[in-house]
Amino acid sequence: MEKFNLLSILSLIVVFISILFSVFLCTVKTKNKLANILLGLFILFNAIDISAWFLDQYMLSHLNLLLFKSRLSWLINPLFYLYALALCYSNFRLRPVHLLHAIPLVVANLVLIPRFYILDEAAKIRFLETYRESPDYIVGNILGHLQFVFYIVGIYRVLGKYKRIFLENYADAGSITYRWLFQLVTIVTVVHSIVWLKDLVGYTGNSGFFANAQLIVGLNATLLLCWFVLKALYNPTLFRTVDPGIQPVEKMILSTPVSQGPVTTNTVDQPAMETPVNQEMEQKVGALKNFMDQQEPFLEPSLTVHALAAQMKIPARDLSILINHHLGQHFFDFINEYRIRKAMSILKDPARQGLNIQEVFYEVGFNSKSSFNTAFKKVSGMTPTQYKNS
């Protein structure tokens, strides 16, 4: 079978599955409706771009539509960026200002109005025959790759802020959102790098190598789409957003009138004078630890810094700064350490030897065996099974 025939078949399969998956994302009932729709549109517009490998030959009688379809690729990267925002932040909504992301698409089509759209059929055919070798195509291709870099950098910045806020305020396994997006961005970047190399090869005039590169891109697109579907099947409740009103602790500290350093302890060689501020911090830390030991709020799987602050009847902002800054721990790690200590006591309790590992990690507030094992090894240096048998 020739490479281009195989490529046409692959692209047809990708487009068909993409359309089905996009319809599923846009119609399935979920709390993340907007994020799902944006992901569905991202996949759909990628499918429209890939459809050129088998569909363009049937659109030669509709040349305006053919070229306009190729211009829709300018919306792929903005949709990916907006999806990241909608997935990470619970109150994200599309607003008129987001139409600015469509400016490249509008400009690309406005430029083509006098040069293509209003010409007669013969002139349009001549334009298309030489288009791939024209400076316009080369410049547009370069700008397309630069647009991708611009939006990918923006998504990584969104992820960085999301991760900080999540670790400082949440204690469940909702970081699946971060892992999913990070994996997705990384894989999309790799695939786009292959596309970039394919385009670069296209300028060398090596048609055989270009055909192989096209085939590799098609295979990668197929594998990426299969990965999308598997993720959706294995994680039907994706994903967890964070409250966009929450600021990272470092910004909270900057807005505090008097910045206070982390709690320190005296050393034997260099005793320090106890200041009122240090004494107040020691009292707050002591009150927090007593509450954790006596009330065991960490057993609640979905515990957040706001929920814990409400239980302790103190401002959430003060509690967040106390844990994330003065104790030098993320809230996520702070809570998980208490959970692991509780699990360790259960595993060594002779009266509870009949419990299996799954029953233990559910009891202490974990929802995932993998996150429990990771946290357990981080605290104890052993796996739960090794600790139980030691």
Residue 214 sits in a domain whose CATH number is 1.20.1070
Confidence of residue 148 (pLDDT cuts 50, 70, 90): very high
Q: Is residue 71 part of a domain?
A: yes
Q: Is the pLDDT confidence value at 243 over 90?
A: no
Q: Please tell me whether residues 281 and 372 are part of one structural domain.
A: yes
Q: Please tell me whether residues 70 and 130 are part of one structural domain.
A: yes
Query: For residue 47, which amino acid is it?
Result: A
Q: Is residue 114 part of a domain?
A: yes
Q: Is the pLDDT confidence value at 266 over 50?
A: no
Looking at residue 132, what is its pLDDT? Answer: 80
The mean predicted confidence, pLDDT, of the chain is 81
Looking at residue 143, what is its pLDDT? Answer: 93
Looking at residue 8, what is its pLDDT? Answer: 81
Distant-in-sequence, close-in-space partners of 288: CB < 8 Å, separation ≥ 6: 312, 319, 322, 323
The residue among 316 and 229 whose pLDDT is bigger is 316
Q: Please tell me whether residues 379 and 230 are part of one structural domain.
A: no
Looking at residue 264, what is its pLDDT? Answer: 45
Q: Please tell me whether residues 306 and 228 are part of one structural domain.
A: no
Distant-in-sequence, close-in-space partners of 195: CB < 8 Å, separation ≥ 6: 217
CA proximity to 186, closest of 218, 217, 159, 213: 159
What pLDDT digit, counting tens, does each position of 78-125 carry? 999 999 999 888 788 999 999 999 999 999 999 999 999 999 999 999
Report the distance separating Cα 88 and Cα 177, nearest Å: 7
Q: Please tell me whether residues 170 and 284 are part of one structural domain.
A: no
Q: Is residue 239 part of a domain?
A: no
Looking at residue 270, what is its pLDDT? Answer: 44
Confidence of residue 147 (pLDDT cuts 50, 70, 90): very high
Q: Please tell me whether residues 31 and 156 are part of one structural domain.
A: yes
Q: Is residue 334 part of a domain?
A: yes
Query: For residue 303, which amino acid is it?
Result: L
Question: Whole-model pTM?
Answer: 0.71
Q: Please tell me whether residues 184 and 294 are part of one structural domain.
A: no
Looking at residue 250, what is its pLDDT? Answer: 64
Looking at residue 196, what is its pLDDT? Answer: 81
Q: Please tell me whether residues 226 and 332 are part of one structural domain.
A: no
What pLDDT digit, counting tens, does each position of 27-68 carry? 877 777 898 899 889 989 988 988 888 888 888 889 999 999
Looking at residue 119, what is its pLDDT? Answer: 93
Q: Is residue 269 part of a domain?
A: no
Q: Is residue 97 part of a domain?
A: yes
Q: Please tell me whether residues 167 and 304 are part of one structural domain.
A: no
- Return the bridge partners of 170, or none: 304
What pLDDT digit, counting tens, does each position of 155-201 carry? 999 988 888 877 777 776 555 677 778 888 888 888 888 778 777 76
Q: Please tell me whether residues 148 and 287 are part of one structural domain.
A: no
Q: Which two tokens stand for residue 204?
A: 């060398």
Report the distance separating Cα 322 and Cα 249, nearest Å: 10
Report the distance separating Cα 147 and Cα 104, nearest Å: 9
Q: Is residue 267 part of a domain?
A: no
Q: Is residue 77 part of a domain?
A: yes
What pLDDT digit, counting tens, does each position of 120-130 carry? 999 999 999 88
Looking at residue 207, what is its pLDDT? Answer: 58
CA proximity to 42, closest of 83, 14, 94: 83
Q: Is the pLDDT confidence value at 239 over 90?
A: no
Whichever domain contains 330, its CATH number is 1.10.10.60
Angle, helix 331-347 to helix 135-169, in steps of 10 degrees: 50
Q: Please tell me whether residues 181 and 217 are part of one structural domain.
A: yes
Domain that holds residue 212: 3-234
Looking at residue 265, what is its pLDDT? Answer: 41
Query: How many domains would you assign to the chain?
Result: 2
Report the distance separating Cα 97 and Cα 90, nearest Å: 18
What pLDDT digit, counting tens, does each position of 330-364 carry? 888 889 899 999 999 998 888 888 888 888 888 98
Looking at residue 12, what is its pLDDT? Answer: 87
Q: Is the pLDDT confidence value at 256 over 70?
A: no
CA proximity to 343, closest of 334, 352, 331: 352
Distant-in-sequence, close-in-space partners of 302: CB < 8 Å, separation ≥ 6: 171, 172
SS (H, E, C) the chain: CCHHHHHHHHHHHHHHHHHHHHHHHHHCCCCCHHHHHHHHHHHHHHHHHHCHHHHHHHCCCCHHHHHHHHHHHHHHHHHHHHHHHHHHECCCCCCHHHHHHHHHHHHHHHHHHHHHHCCCHHHHHHHHHHHCCCHHHHHHHHHHHHHHHHHHHHHHHHHHHHHHHHHHHECCCCCHHHHHHHHHHHHHHHHHHHHHHHHHHHCCCCHHHHHHHHHHHHHHHHHHHHHHHHHHHHCCCCCCCECCCCCCHHHHHHCCCCCCCCCCCCCCCCCCCCCHHHHHHHHHHHHHHHHHHHHCHHHCCCCEHHHHHHHHCCCHHHHHHHHHHHCCCCHHHHHHHHHHHHHHHHHCCHHHCCCCHHHHHHHCCCCCHHHHHHHHHHHHCCCHHHHHHC
Q: Is the pLDDT confidence value at 318 over 50?
A: yes
Q: Please tell me whether residues 256 and 215 are part of one structural domain.
A: no
